Structure 1
Amino acid sequence: MLNSANAGRQLALRVVACQAIATLATALACLMTGPREAFAALAGGGSMTLGSLLAAWGAFGGGVEGAGMALGRLLLGTAVKWLVVVGGLYLAMAVWKLPAVPVLAGAAIAAAAFVVSMKFVAAHRGKTRTIA
């Protein structure tokens, strides 16, 4: 099986796309209660999605290097992700005074989409082409 940094980057972008779709679906569902709630769900899910995008960019942005450097980039990307998520949730609930339940619902659905899409991607990993 051919496994490259480019394949990892593509898989990470697919996961982020799944998070974005789940965030939009949550905002659409929250739109039934009002536009403010829909925007709150977008803010919560958007912060989780943006954090995942930045984590993927940090993990795969430097090209192919040694294992220590790859681990360092992965840890730094994860730290940046959670700083963005916490900052986004703080802005949405404390600064912009958006309703907390839709904000947290958007973030939770985006996080669940991350887990589900990773499970789906892992199930299809064995079905990739091999180059002999």
Structure 2
Amino acid sequence: MHDPIAAGRRAALRAVAVQGLVVALLAAAFIARDAREALAVGVGGLALVLGNALSAVVALGGIVPAPVAFGRLLLAAMGKWLVAIVVLAAGLAVWRLPPLPMLAGLVAGLLAYLLALNFLKQDAHSKG
């Protein structure tokens, strides 16, 4: 039996893994400039990696009635951005990391996730 929810969750978690890899590569590129900037890139990207992983688990928890699914979707989106904002705030206020590299990590993570999710979804459709 085909479970589209499980397939979507697997695709989202694979996209999170791709996102983490892209952020790690960008942080490695920044290490040549400064270790604090590389850490800032990593924290910015990690904010979205954690947020997207939480979102995938919450939103795609299983087959449920439509109102529950919509509630999960809203909760997942709010949780994703809450985690991202808390991690970014900690990076800026607590660890005093440079904001521009942190923003670069956040943007790279966001773009990597969206592109990976789009291409993984296309691969799933072409196989099925």
TM-score, with length taken from structure 2: 0.93
TM-aligned CA distance change 1:3 to 1:128, over 3 Å: farther
2:112 aligned partner = 113
Shift in Å, 1:48: 0.7
Matches within 5 A, 1:74-85: 74-85=73-84
Q: Any runs of at least 4 consecutive aligned residues in structure 1 with deviations exceeding 3 A, and if so which?
A: none
**Which residue does the alignment assign to 2:4?**
4
Whichever residue aligns with residue 33 of structure 1, its letter is R
Deviation at 1:125, TM superposition (A): 2.9
Partners in 2 of 1:60 and 1:48 — Cα distance? Answer: 17
Q: Which residue does the alignment assign to 1:39? A: 39
TM-aligned CA deviation for residue 56 of structure 1: 0.6
1:57 paired residue number: 57
Q: Name which of structure 1's ranges 116-125 and 106-115 shifts more when overlaid on structure 2.
A: 116-125
What residue is the counterpart of 1:87 in the other structure? 86
Aligned to 1:23: 23
One-letter amino acid matched to 1:116: L
How many angstroms does 1:128 deviate by? 2.7
**1:72 Cα deviation from its structure 2 partner:** 0.9
> Higher mean Cα deviation, 49-58 or 2-11?
2-11
1:45-79 C-alpha deviation (Å, 9 max, x unpaired): 00110000000111123x21111111110110010
TM-score by length of 1: 0.90
1:4 Cα deviation from its structure 2 partner: 2.1
Contact 2:11–2:121 (Cα < 8 Å) also in 1: no
RMSD over aligned CA atoms reads 1.5
Deviation at 1:3, TM superposition (A): 4.6
| Residue identity opposite 2:72 in structure 1 | R
Secondary structure of 2:56's partner? Answer: helix
The equivalent of 1:68 in structure 2 is 67
Percent of residue pairs identical = 37
Task: Return 5+ residue gaps in structure 1 as ranges.
Answer: none
